[in-house]
Amino acid sequence: MYTLTYESQANPKLTNNDIEKILVTAQNFNSQNGITGCLIFYMGKFIQILEGPKETVLELYKNIEKDDRHSKIKMFSEDDITERNFPDWGMAYYPIDEKAMGYAEFEQFKRNLMLLADLSKPTNVTAILFWKKMKLLLSLPPKKV
């Protein structure tokens, strides 16, 4: 088995509806192909970790690199693994959008995600880096509109 994690910049014209469509497509593909992981979207950035059969994960990543719904795609870690860190997550998705939530709800959601990161027990460097990168991104203040 294999895992990789990457970050990218969302196309500024991407809507929440577009992201929901991406999620549905990803969940269907992933469940049929033994892929698990987590996708986080915050302040116009994506961070994603994928786990599964190496050839399938790499092929999926090649398709992700060609997708014009985001740019500046950068893989920052990959590993061969013996166990999954997200075994029951077809594809978790955290739509952190300060404009769609009240401030208190938004801050609580970020705290919950930080707690999830603190409580996770990553078993490989890629999962560790995914959570560290996620925490770094969430520590940035929201952009002023």
**Nearest Cα to 52, choosing from 21, 81, 27?**
81
On whether residue 53 sits in a domain, the answer given is: yes
Read off the CATH number of the domain in which 72 is found.
3.30.70.100
SS (H, E, C) 83-119: CCCCCCCCCEEEEECCCCCCHHHHHHHHHHHHHHHHH
pLDDT in tens, 125-139: 999 999 999 998 888
On whether residue 46 sits in a domain, the answer given is: yes
On whether residue 145 sits in a domain, the answer given is: no
On whether residue 106 sits in a domain, the answer given is: yes
On whether residue 28 sits in a domain, the answer given is: yes
What is the residue range of 27's domain?
A: 2-139
On whether residue 144 sits in a domain, the answer given is: no
Residues near 33 by beta carbon (within 8 Å), at least 6 away in sequence: 52, 53, 56, 60
Give me the number of domains the chain comprises. 1
pLDDT in tens, 14-33: 887 888 888 888 888 888 99
Which residues in the chain show pLDDT less than 50? Answer: 145
Residue 143's pLDDT is what? 61
On whether residue 127 sits in a domain, the answer given is: yes
Residue 97's pLDDT is what? 56
